Structure 1
Amino acid sequence: MNINAKYFGPISYEKKETIHIINGLIGFESHTEYLPISFQEDDDSMISLQCLDDEALSFILLNPFGIFPDYDPVLPKYELEELGTDSADDISFYVIGVIRDSVAESTINLKAPLAVNALNRRAKQVILDHPEYTFRHFLGDMRKEG
């Protein structure tokens, strides 16, 4: 299959590379099929989450653990079951980033990460019950903390 990816141009992919986001992302509930594309080969620190039914729609995902090592998302059992697993070890977490010209003014959403079951490619945007996490953490502030 082929798609004209927003940040990469024409890309060929196989169905097994796609992910299905249960109920879509917040604000984009009708879009559930995506292709994750790493900006650097074999590196998941920054990914373009390319929508398959709207080529203009793509989100920047970041691996939160490289930016915020103390990040500790915990899913309740019912969300693990919805993702098709009973083990948190099967889940990878990514946060949506808003990249600005200045890295310091760029933000990440630690409150509502994308939880991805790496085994079955099912994903869900979850809202964490953790008061420390908000929807907009400035990367500039996180560098000062680290």
Structure 2
Amino acid sequence: MEINAKYFGQVSYEENEAIHILNGLIGFEAYTEYLPIPFHEENDSLISLQCLQDEALSFILMNPFGLLADYSPSLSREDLKALGTESAEDLSYYVICVMRDSVAESTVNLKAPLVVNARSRQARQVILDQAEYTFRHVLGEMIKEES
């Protein structure tokens, strides 16, 4: 299969590489089929989440553990069940990045990560019940804190 990806042009992919986001992303509930495309083949620190239903729609995702070493999302039993697992160890987490003119001004949403079950390719955006995470963490401030 092929898609004209927003950031990569023509991309070939296999059906089993796609992920299905249960109930879609917040604000984009009608779109549930996506192809994650890493910007760097060797790691998942930065990913383009390309919508398969609308080629113009793509989100930039970041691996939150590379940004915040002590990021520790806690999922409810309902979230785990919806993702088809009983253990959070089966899951990968990604946060949506809103790009600004500079990387330092860009923000990530640590409050509502996209959680992916790599085995089933089912994903869900969850809203964490943890006060330390907000919808807009400024990357420049996070980098200063980690230094």
TM-based fold match above 0.5: yes
Amino acid at match of 1:32: T
Give how far 1:101 is off.
2.4
Alignment of 1:87-126 (within 5 A): 87-126=87-126
Q: Percent identity?
A: 69
| TM-score with structure 1 setting the length | 0.98
Gap runs ≥5 in structure 2? none
Letter in 2 for 1:137: H
Return the TM-score normalized by structure 2.
Answer: 0.98
Alignment partner, residue 26 of structure 2: 26
Distance of 1:64 and 1:88 partners within structure 2: 15
How many residues align structurally?
146
Which stretches of structure 1, 4 residues or more, deviate above 3 A after TM superposition?
A: none
Task: Tell me the residue number matched to 1:3.
Answer: 3
Q: Distance in 2 between matches of 1:57 and 1:68?
A: 27
Look up the match of 2:128: 128
CA apart distance, 1:104 = 1.1
Separation (CA, whole Å) in 2 of partners of 1:3 and 1:119: 23
Distance 1:42 1:53 in 2: 27
